[in-house]
Structure 1
């Protein structure tokens, strides 16, 4: 049996033959239906083969893999778990506990002020000589800075890591980097991957002007990325940066392989206060993509960081990285994504697009000029609108927010541990807060047999649930007369008529004759413009259908309900 299996051969199928079979399976739909278009303008093909890759990469795949691997210092990465305590005593307790349980570095955010005492800072002096320190947004007045002046000069070479902000470190900190292309700000403002990469290079060029040599600059510089949920694109982003950086270094005459640190953290752009445990899945997805991409340092944010972190959520965030190391052994493999036709193709496309944009920025005068012109801000605003538009039209899903919303839990307005401007779920959260306070009575008016109206009723219920609107079902009406009688006798704020598509027009002809003017009614489904106009003239207010702008519709319902309440 085994020998027969080993002797079996399969017929070779080329890309052209596969494409023919794929088109046939689409049953009349165009092949383009299988292509996914990203916000970066990249077309993701349904299949990547050697034939496809050779045609599109033009035999540069091997060079991509070699450059990524030579530009990565180590296959292993540093676990960087943050403490969120506002008091120095608790902060030190948490960081020491996390270091004992798998954390490998000290992370400090100057934007989150901590009340320090001298004894805690003295403890910190010892810790930073033992573990790498990554400190961001440090202000000149921050007491945290004093630890660097107190460490004696002989021990300063023990301190490793990076620090940014209003910082002038004393002499002797040779292994602490102070120049950064921090991409978190533009990421949260809506930046796509190509923009993040191009701006990182442009910032590097601007920073390099302040240093005597590119070698000295390369020893001081690092980059910081937020890693989003688009798994393969984020892997390609970090890999693309390695090659772009090497290309930039060579343009300065620096021909050695330069491996600068890449600091990554899970993006809060797609985190939501709604159904927060889904954030744990997002964090795991983002962490794994960062690791496969070859990040050097990684922070995973707790799933409930938008409300209030707990010891359990911090432990879970840390354990995501520990589980990846213990279960996958990725830390022993240099560039584990290298050689994948798919990821190498994405990497190459990001390189080409980012380098083109970088050259355009430099031609306009560089990073500062580009920002001052308003071009970057305009682009970020446009990208943010596109992202929200994708969510609102269900081209993208934010599980627990715009899809599969859970109304069994309430969304309380409380002070967040961390808040991020530009989160995609924010508008949905605001709608949920409103309807939790003032909930209209919404009825799905169902006609016919359960199997006939259920798909539309389920869709409408899910559509409205995303805004926090609860729905109840009417009895299944067997006639228009029964429906009209029920509608007249029962009190509700808003009703949506749910009928099988094949029967809707026929039922509506009869139903329209007796529609009550004071009733607020919509119809589920899409229809010809002619029918919509007739039904609206008869008293129907609007429609709910697949592909509709969800946020626009939910906002209109909110405004209508507010008007009804004021009457």
Structure 2
């Protein structure tokens, strides 16, 4: 039996015939905030190299609460908790840096960012020195979650992660690259967020080769606040479940679900938020794959686009003085502001739909863009705040 091998031109001609138009891409293509070209269909393209996770399986991280010791292997610590054995512990509070005592049975990771706020625009040497003296597996966190929650594009997030890494290398030397945890917030664009994490693996690996290393980034991914709303909090559960799935499939080494309730949080809502991860991992087993979307022509293509555009922007930032220099000048803030305002306008116009906010029901606008955003500051803003 022989098969006819169809070319891309054959497929295009068939689609033109079905749609009765010559301009099929204008009809089938859809705009996106990232300016990524998404094709209506794909033919086999070059397969990218599979990059593994650092961890064998993704850690399901719970915010510590009594009674979860037997159910959770990994905890996020905002305070010092004693008598925990054989756990992966993610230290989230800079006040703990001086006081936490590492236990040989536990594994410790820092989620503490040593970059001072945008008004100072510098690396906190004292905090960094304190963290580097600790017997953590990973001592320094490069936190990009704030940028996502402030409205930065995926390309900007990837670029800033690389740019902050470059600043750390200049300060502490190339060995610092092996001590980093990258903290990402995961948004609602399911396949784009998968591609975001995949692209960062390639970018960081390429970046490390500039210093004669061949490293895979350690990625901690958490659910975003950007698309969450006060009204109908159960909708937030659906959004965060998709975000957790994106993170696991994209290859995060650890995932964490923020409380799905914006207001009136309870111990139960905290527990439910964590157990979303458990259901996904145990029912779908998606936390064990190295690269589940490898070979998907669509995901491979947008991964490549994200990587290329982010690398280009990274080089531009470096040519203009680097991340901290542009932060001092207010340029990073303006970049994020412009992207965030554009995203907010899409929500206001209904191009981005949020159930219970601008759709089913459609709430009235209560706050203006000027009230929500500041071009001189990187601050987290939820899209629904315009209507709350």
**TM-score interval w.r.t. the shorter chain?**
0.7 to 0.9
TM-score (norm 2): 0.85
SS at match of 1:36: coil
2:332 paired with 1:373: no
Inter-partner Cα distance in structure 1 for 2:77 and 2:106: 18
- Aligned partners of 2:38 and 2:27: how far apart in 1? 11
Which residue of the partner structure matches residue 164 of structure 2? 203
* Counterpart residue number, 1:334: 290
1:267-346 alignment to 2 at 5 Å? 267-304=224-261, 306-346=262-302
- The alpha-carbon deviation at position 195 of structure 1 amounts to 0.5
Which residue of 2 is the match for residue 553 of structure 1? none
- Give the TM-score normalised by structure 1: 0.59
**1:238-249 matched pairs, under 5 angstroms:** 238-249=197-208
Aligned with 1:235 (options 194, 204, 213)? 194
Question: Aligned pair 1:190/2:161, yes or no?
Answer: no
Task: Check 1:352–1:308 CA distance in 2 against 1; reply closer, same or farther (3 A cut).
Answer: same
Kept after mapping to 1: 8 A contact 2:194/2:250 = yes
What's 2:70 paired with?
100
Kindly indicate whether the alpha-carbon contact (under 8 Å) linking 1:74 and 1:334 is maintained by their aligned counterparts in 2: no
2:37 is matched with which residue?
43
Contact 1:191 1:380 in 2 (8 A): yes
Equivalent residue for 1:161?
109
- Structure 1 pair 41–97 and aligned structure 2 pair: CA distance change class (3 A): same
From 213, 220, 229, the equivalent of 2:179 is 220
Higher RCO (Cα < 8 Å, 6 or more apart): 2
Q: Is the 8 A contact 1:99 1:105 kept in 2?
A: no
367 and 146 in structure 1: CA distance in 2 versus 1, 3 angstrom threshold: closer
Aligned residues: 359
Against the structure 1 CA distance between its residues 174 and 259, is the aligned structure 2 distance closer, same or farther, given a 3 Å change threshold? farther
How many Å separate the matches in 1 of 2:325 and 2:91?
28
Residues 92-120 of structure 1: CA distance to partner in whole angstroms, max 9, x if unpaired? Answer: xx2x422322x2222134xxxx7xxxxxx
CA RMSD across the alignment: 2.5
Whether contact under 8 Å (1:156, 1:172) holds in the other structure is no
Asked which structure has the greater CA Rg, the reply is 1
Contact (CA 8 Å) 1:275, 1:405: kept in 2 or not? Answer: no
Distance of aligned partners of 1:130 and 1:341 in 2 relative to their CA distance in 1, 3 Å threshold = same
Structure-to-structure mapping, 1:68-467, within 5 angstroms? 68-69=51-52, 72-83=53-64, 94=65, 96-101=66-71, 103-109=72-78, 121=80, 124-127=81-84, 130-138=86-94, 142=95, 144-145=96-97, 147-148=99-100, 155=103, 158-164=106-112, 166=127, 168-169=129-130, 173-212=134-173, 214=174, 216-254=175-213, 257-304=214-261, 306-405=262-361, 421-429=380-388
Whole-angstrom distance in 1 between the partners of 2:110 and 2:230 = 31
Separation (CA, whole Å) in 1 of partners of 2:4 and 2:238: 40
Structure 2 spans left out of the alignment, 5+ residues: 115-126, 364-378
Do the aligned partners of 1:179 and 1:207 also contact (CA within 8 Å) in 2? no
CA 1:220–1:231: 2 relative to 1, 3 Å = same
Q: Secondary structure at the match of 1:43?
A: coil
- 3-state SS of 1:210 partner: helix
Contact 2:138–2:178 (CA<8 Å) still a contact in 1? yes
Alignment check: 8 A CA contact 1:75 1:294 kept: no
Alpha-carbon shift at residue 285 of structure 1 (Å): 0.5
Quote the offset at 1:157 in angstroms.
8.0
Give the 5 Å matches for 1:536-547.
Answer: none
CA contact (8 A) 1:76 1:330 kept: no
SS for the counterpart of 1:335 is coil
SS of 1:282's partner is helix
Aligned position for 2:120: none
Query: 1:350-397: CA deviations, max 9, x gaps?
Result: 110000000000001111112122222111111111111111222121
Following TM superposition, by how much is the alpha carbon of 1:322 offset from its aligned partner in structure 2, in angstroms? 1.1
CA distance in 2, matches of 1:383, 1:170: 33
Range moving further from structure 2, 281-290 or 323-332: 323-332
CA–CA distance in 1 between the matches of 2:312 and 2:6? 36
Determine the C-alpha separation between the residues in 2 that align with 1:259 and 1:176. 14
Post-superposition offset of 1:346:
0.8
Write the deviation string for residues 273-318 of structure 1: whole angstroms up to 9, x where unpaired. Answer: 12211111101100000000000010012321x1122233223222
Distance 1:170 1:426, change over 3 A: closer
Give me the whole-angstrom Cα distance separating, in 2, the residues matched to 1:356 and 1:171: 31
